[in-house]
Amino acid sequence: MTTLGTISHKLVRTRAGLVAAVAAVGAVVGIGVAAGCGGDEAAGPTEVVLVTHDSFAVSKDVKAAFEAESGLRLRILQAGDANETLNRALLTAGDPQGDVIFGIDDSVLSRALEGDLLEEYRPDALASVVGTYVVPYDRVTPIDHGEVCLNVDRAWFADRRLPLPRRLEDLTDARYRNLLVVENPATSSPGLAFLLATVARFGDDGWQAYWRDLRTNGVLAVDGWEEAYTQQFSGAAGSPGKRPIVVSYATSPAAEVIFAAKPLDVAPTSAIEDGCYRQVEYAGILRGARNEDGARKLIDFMLSERFQADVPGSMFVYPVREGVELPPAFVEHAIVPEDPLALPADDVDENRDRWVDEWTEIVVR
């Protein structure tokens, strides 16, 4: 018998080895059991599965209310941003990971409708949704809207007696040199929204010149929102950042107040009304859902007053339902842009890749 053989046998024979071996077998069996117990279909489905993005959130009591009303457990799977979530769904189209997908936004809507991904469903509650957000497709239901806006660090500008930028054009002014940080539209959802805002504003043949000017004026482009906001933006509490203008959301100033470590009267940041871009988020029933009936119940619930009122506090976006009251922090510190920029979904889908490529040429190379 060789040394190595001895060692391996010894490992299994010693108590520690035995424990490890038993535990390993137990773990593997456990996986099998857990897999086998995934919902007893003979007794009808007992759960409904929501596939969504990283930013999805719901209050505990609201989730519990749905579960009590429907008698179904709500399971939530989240990974990646809106685009990545849709791609995962497209990969498993027809044999989906869950029953409902939430978080399809305008910039990917046409791709979601193109693929044979979603079932038709038109909830009755659609009647109480503000007209602006209703789309002529029966396969998606609008749930919320959020606006991507420039945010500024108010103290930074006050200290230097520099006026806050008011319009997109101001950002190309030499006074605002090296102050702006944006996200890469190829990899970030707010980054793409801001690029689309400039396209909507300056036109398909005018936005390039604007970005060339931004580049000359020292715009910094980073990979994602986390790097831009928590690392480069000076206005985020505790950030080491040095740039006082960032692409974020209309609600970010309210979040700074709500999540301040010590109570604040005034938000340290504010959103700039000009250049905001609207994103509506939709939900849909995945074709091949195991629990289609539960899926309908979930979408109905997402349009209910209870869920819609929870949307600002949980996800920091706005409800699409008419007459839902906003929490006070949002009324005071956030803005609801009156007339945000927007582009038709088809337009975005047709040109998105070209725009992003051109943007990369202009800003990165």
User: Residue 126 CB, nearest distance to another protein (Å)?
Assistant: 26
3-state secondary structure 52-74: ECCCCCCCHHHHHHHHHHHCCEE
The C-alpha atoms of residue 364 and residue 349 are separated, in whole angstroms, by: 23
Contact 179, 245 (CB under 8 A): yes
20 binds another protein (CB under 8 A): yes
230 binds another protein (CB under 8 A): yes
Single residue of 42, 127, 174, 261 touching another protein by CB under 8 A: 261
Structure token digits, residue 232: 């480069």
The C-alpha atoms of residue 87 and residue 114 are separated, in whole angstroms, by: 13
Pick between residue 157 and residue 316 the one whose CB is nearest to another protein: 316
The C-alpha atoms of residue 289 and residue 111 are separated, in whole angstroms, by: 19
Contact range with another protein by CB under 8 A, out of 134-142, 198-206, 238-246, 336-344 = 238-246
Pick between residue 315 and residue 343 the one whose CB is nearest to another protein: 315
Residues listed for the chain: 365
Single residue of 65, 67, 76, 358 touching another protein by CB under 8 A: 76
Interaction residues for another protein, span 96-135 (CB under 8 A): 97-98
Structure token digits, residue 302: 């997402």
Single residue of 18, 44, 54, 160 touching another protein by CB under 8 A: 54
Single residue of 70, 128, 217, 239 touching another protein by CB under 8 A: 239
Interaction residues for another protein, span 141-180 (CB under 8 A): none
For 212-230, the DSSP string reads HHHHHTT-EEESSHHIIII
The C-alpha atoms of residue 305 and residue 325 are separated, in whole angstroms, by: 10
42 binds another protein (CB under 8 A): no
Contact range with another protein by CB under 8 A, out of 91-99, 166-174, 209-217, 301-309 = 91-99
Name the β-bridge partners of 50.
Answer: 76, 100
Contact range with another protein by CB under 8 A, out of 32-40, 131-139, 155-163, 209-217 = 32-40
Structure token digits, residue 360: 């990369």
Pick between residue 123 and residue 302 the one whose CB is nearest to another protein: 302
40 binds another protein (CB under 8 A): no
Q: Which residues in the chain belong to E strands, given as ranges?
A: 47-52, 73-78, 100-105, 118-119, 141-153, 180-183, 220-222, 245-249, 269-271, 277-286, 318-319
Pick between residue 123 and residue 285 the one whose CB is nearest to another protein: 285
Single residue of 119, 227, 274, 332 touching another protein by CB under 8 A: 227
| Eight-class DSSP state of 163 | P
260 binds another protein (CB under 8 A): yes
Interaction residues for another protein, span 302-321 (CB under 8 A): 313-316
362 binds another protein (CB under 8 A): no
